[in-house]
């Protein structure tokens, strides 16, 4: 998720008139469509605007929220402690929320710790016996228990000995798929096993998490997130990589496969079809890179190209295919299933892409076989100035109150950004503690709490308030 290259992003989300919804435009529609970055003005904050009004500065200088909303801290790296006594780990990233006993919520939280365990610092994921894949790797997941009001009840390690656990996805059978954003093989950083895989974590049954094994059928690459089609069982997987830009992959289960807890453990390394996306424009021409789309509402037809070696024993998966066989995207990040399809985020594009931007949100409709640009961020010239200049979309979740919530991972001021179904945007929360990214937004099953992470130092917030539809 976190990219080491310098970022400079300008963020107004845009939505073209072809989508058929009202939006406050920066000038006329003609001006919008001819603008260099296709920019549209977000809706105004406050009464009559989208969202919940402007944020109120937090006296504690942690997290500012709209009037009537409040937060509690569920876990904080180095401050709260696991049930086993060790401090909560840092680098809190992607996260899934599940219904627990007694109206509680179980939160499976990724910890994106990379490199050698010996140099990763003191707040790594502990390595309990039976729950550790590679004892030399510092990352993994913890499962945090919170009551119906978001108050902390406890925290345990649910996966250990993995590396760079970035985002992931929720399955229809209520487990979490934790994704490793790395391609490190055994021997690198002292690792004893290969990395770059997806691991399944059961939030309820710790016994199901014993002897963790990678799901090799889902490929070995710099995984970011995964969205699971509950109807077809297909999985859509994003790749956060460059040189060359990453790909969007699709895994189709074999005919005999039936999804369910522990079912993924029965798969062989080459079971199911593992393919990469190819987009074509309205004229039927292959699209080399997603940054080519500068107008919201742009729709491509989608087909899929088989990946020769999904385990990447010799060559990274993204290097095995090139345009016009596939369509690339810079920093393919968050993914979330909702509204009958997969939302997919590309965080930004610079010199490594044909057209610069500061983020795109796409929607893949598998029944129609299309990919449509829903939101677009222009290049952010003032990242340190708070306002509506959002940039660098990353993790995403579909809100039960309408639209989506996006975690910002750019420069300068960082937010949780809401976007209505009409394409208007609003600030849901502002990080006042530092300039590190927000991550892992997800709602509780009863829709009362929005949980979200601050990546560093590693804080899990529970946000409550007067939720209402924001369509």
How confident is the model at residue 48, as a pLDDT? 56
Residue 76: other Cβ atoms inside 10 A: 18
**pLDDT at residue 36 greater than cutoff 50:** no
Residue 306: other Cβ atoms inside 10 A: 12
Report phi then psi at 462, rounded to 5: -115, 120
What pLDDT, in 10s, does the model give residues 357-366? 999 999 999 9
Minimum mean pLDDT among 3-12, 120-129, 349-358: which range? 3-12
How confident is the model at residue 1, as a pLDDT? 54
Confidence of residue 171 (pLDDT cuts 50, 70, 90): very high
The residue ranking higher by pLDDT, 367 or 25, is 367
**pLDDT at residue 17 greater than cutoff 70:** no
Give every CB contact of residue 60 below 8 A, 6+ residues apart in sequence: none
Is the Cα torsion angle 134, 195, 227, 41 positive or negative in sign? positive
What pLDDT, in 10s, does the model give residues 181-203? 999 999 999 999 999 999 999 99
How confident is the model at residue 221, as a pLDDT? 98
pLDDT > 90: what percent of the chain? 86
The rounded distance, in Å, linking the Cα atoms of 107 and 105 is 6
pLDDT > 70: what percent of the chain? 90
How confident is the model at residue 369, as a pLDDT? 98
pTM assigned to the model: 0.91
* Stretch 323-352: mean pLDDT: 97
Q: Label each residue of the chain as H, E or C.
A: CCCCCCCCCECCECCCHHHCCCCCCCCCHHHHHHCCCCCCCCCCCCCCCCCCCCEECCCCCCEEEECCCEEEEEEECCCCECCCCCECCCCEEEEEEEECHHHCEEEEEEECCCCCHHHCCCCCCCCCCCCECCCCCCEEEEEEEECCCCCEEEEEEEEEEECCEEEEEECCCCCEEEEEECCCCCCHHHCCCCCCCEEEECCCCHHHHCCCCCCHHHCCCEEEEEEECCCCCCEEEEECCCCCCECEEEEECCCCCCCCCCHHHHCCCCCCEEEEEEEECCCCCEECEHHHCCCCCCEEEEEEEECCCCCCCCCCHHHCCCCCCCCEECCEEEEEEECCEEEEEECCECCCCCCCECCEEEEEECCCCEEEEEEEECCECCCCCCCCCCCCEEEEEECCCCCEEEEECCCCCEEEEEECCCCCEEEEEEECCCCCCEEEEEECCCCCCEEEEECCCCEEEEEECCCCCCC
For residue 445, cis peptide bond before it (omega within 30 degrees of 0) = no
* Stretch 430-457: mean pLDDT: 98
Work out the mean pLDDT of the chain and round it to a whole number: 90
The rounded distance, in Å, linking the Cα atoms of 341 and 332 is 17
The residue ranking higher by pLDDT, 131 or 24, is 131
Confidence of residue 388 (pLDDT cuts 50, 70, 90): confident
The residue ranking higher by pLDDT, 303 or 39, is 303
Q: Are 185 and 191 in contact (CB under 8 A)?
A: yes
The residue ranking higher by pLDDT, 81 or 10, is 81
**pLDDT at residue 86 greater than cutoff 80:** yes
Give every CB contact of residue 377 below 8 A, 6+ residues apart in sequence: 9, 10, 11, 12, 13, 348, 357, 358, 359, 360, 390, 391, 392, 393
Confidence of residue 471 (pLDDT cuts 50, 70, 90): confident
Measured in whole angstroms, the distance separating CA 274 from the mean position of its chain's CA atoms is: 21
How confident is the model at residue 141, as a pLDDT? 99
How confident is the model at residue 5, as a pLDDT? 27
How confident is the model at residue 387, as a pLDDT? 80
Q: Are 111 and 121 in contact (CB under 8 A)?
A: no
How confident is the model at residue 155, as a pLDDT? 98
Confidence of residue 50 (pLDDT cuts 50, 70, 90): confident
* Stretch 249-273: mean pLDDT: 96
**pLDDT at residue 15 greater than cutoff 70:** no
**pLDDT at residue 104 greater than cutoff 80:** yes
Both structure tokens of 7: 């970022």
């Amino acid at each position: 998720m976190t990219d080491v290259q310098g970022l400079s992003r300008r963020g107004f989300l845009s939505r073209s008139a072809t989508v058929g919804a009202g939006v406050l435009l920066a000038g006329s529609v003609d001006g919008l469509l001819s603008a260099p970055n296709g920019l549209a003005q977000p809706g105004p904050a406050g009464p009559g605007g989208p969202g919940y009004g402007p944020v109120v500065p937090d006296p504690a200088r942690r997290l500012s929220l709209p009037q009537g909303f409040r937060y509690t801290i569920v876990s904080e790296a180095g401050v709260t402690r696991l049930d086993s006594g060790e401090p909560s780990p840092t680098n809190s990233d992607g996260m899934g929320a599940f219904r627990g006993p007694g109206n509680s919520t179980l939160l499976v939280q990724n910890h994106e710790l990379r490199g050698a365990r010996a140099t990763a610092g003191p707040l790594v994921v502990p390595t309990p016996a039976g729950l550790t894949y590679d004892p030399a790797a510092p990352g993994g997941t913890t499962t945090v228990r919170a009551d119906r009001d978001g108050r902390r009840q406890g925290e345990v390690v649910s996966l250990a000995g993995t590396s760079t656990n970035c985002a992931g996805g929720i399955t229809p059978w209520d487990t979490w798929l934790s994704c490793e954003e790395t391609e490190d093989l055994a021997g690198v950083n002292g690792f004893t096993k290969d990395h770059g895989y997806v691991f399944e974590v059961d939030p309820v049954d710790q016994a199901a998490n014993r002897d963790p094994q990678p799901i090799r059928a889902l490929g070995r690459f710099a995984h970011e997130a995964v969205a699971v089609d509950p109807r077809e069982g297909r999985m859509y997987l994003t790749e956060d990589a460059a040189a060359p830009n990453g790909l969007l992959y699709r895994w189709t289960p074999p005919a005999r496969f039936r999804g369910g807890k522990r079912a993924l453990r029965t798969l062989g390394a080459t079971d199911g079809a593992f393919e990469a996306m190819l987009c074509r424009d309205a004229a039927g021409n292959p699209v080399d890179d997603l940054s080519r789309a500068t107008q919201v509402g742009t729709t491509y037809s989608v087909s899929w190209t088989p990946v020769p070696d999904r385990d990447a024993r010799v060559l990274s998966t993204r290097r095995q295919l090139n345009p016009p066989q596939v369509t690339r995207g810079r920093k393919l990040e968050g993914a979330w299933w909702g509204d009958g399809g997969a939302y997919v985020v590309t965080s930004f594009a610079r010199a490594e892409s044909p057209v610069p931007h500061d983020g795109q949100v796409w929607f893949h409709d598998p029944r129609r076989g299309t990919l449509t640009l829903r939101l677009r961020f222009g290049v952010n010239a003032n990242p340190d100035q708070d306002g509506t200049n959002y940039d660098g979309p990353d993790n995403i979740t579909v809100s039960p109150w309408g639209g989506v919530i996006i975690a910002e991972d750019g420069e300068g001021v960082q937010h949780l950004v809401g976007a209505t179904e009409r394409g208007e945007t609003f600030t849901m929360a502002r990080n006042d503690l530092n300039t590190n990214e927000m991550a892992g937004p997800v709602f509780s099953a009863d829709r009362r709490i929005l949980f979200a992470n601050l990546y560093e130092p590693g804080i899990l917030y529970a946000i409550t308030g007067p939720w209402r539809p924001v369509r």
